[in-house]
Amino acid sequence: QVQLQESGPRLVKPSETLSLTCAISGGSISPFYWSWVRQPPGKGLEWIGYIRYSGTTTYNPSLESRLTISVDTSKNHFSLRLSSVTAADTAVYYCAKYSNSGFDNWGQGTLVTVSS
């Protein structure tokens, strides 16, 4: 069973860049798709984007201009960078394994707060 673990700063200042990494254990990063999903406090789920093990990305159009998702197959992890953050980016950020059959493995999630 694949296990996922998010890591990164829990507090980010407005206008700065939010950076998170998802470590994959118990399985290989290939040949799958890997995704980020976020959930603002008390609200629903928002898909951020996904990356194929080969590096091909697909982003949520509403975030695309600020977003970079990358993969490091040698370290078996993938990463998220979201620039120019505001309070609206405060959320629990989840990493997950993705296919057309859904998100079948999730990390536990990490709350990132945007505040000065």
Partner 1 sequence: DIQMTQSPSSLSASVGDRVTITCRASRSISNYLNWYLQRPGEAPKLLIFAASALQSGVPSRFSGSGSGTEFSLTISSLQPEDFATYYCQQSYGTTVTFGQGTKVEV
Residue 34 CB-density burial (10 A; 0-12 exposed, 13-18 middle, 19+ buried): buried
Spatial distance between the Cα atoms of 46 and 95, rounded to a whole number of angstroms: 12
3 state SS of 77: strand
State in angstroms the smallest separation of the CB of 100 from partner 1.
5
Query: Shortest gap between Cβ of 51 and partner 1 (angstroms)?
Result: 12
Interacting residues toward partner 1 by CB under 8 A = 35, 37, 44-47, 50, 58, 60-61, 94, 96, 98-104, 106-109
**Any idea which residue has 């008390």 for tokens?**
42
| CB nearer to partner 1: pick between 53 and 103 | 103
Q: Which residue has the tokens 């000065």?
A: 116
Instruction: Give the shortest CB-36-to-partner 1 separation in angstroms.
Output: 11
Measured from the CB atom, is 9 or 109 closer to partner 1? 109
Task: Find out whether 35 and 24 touch, Cβ atoms under 8 Å.
Answer: no
Minimum Å gap between C-beta 101 and partner 1 is 4
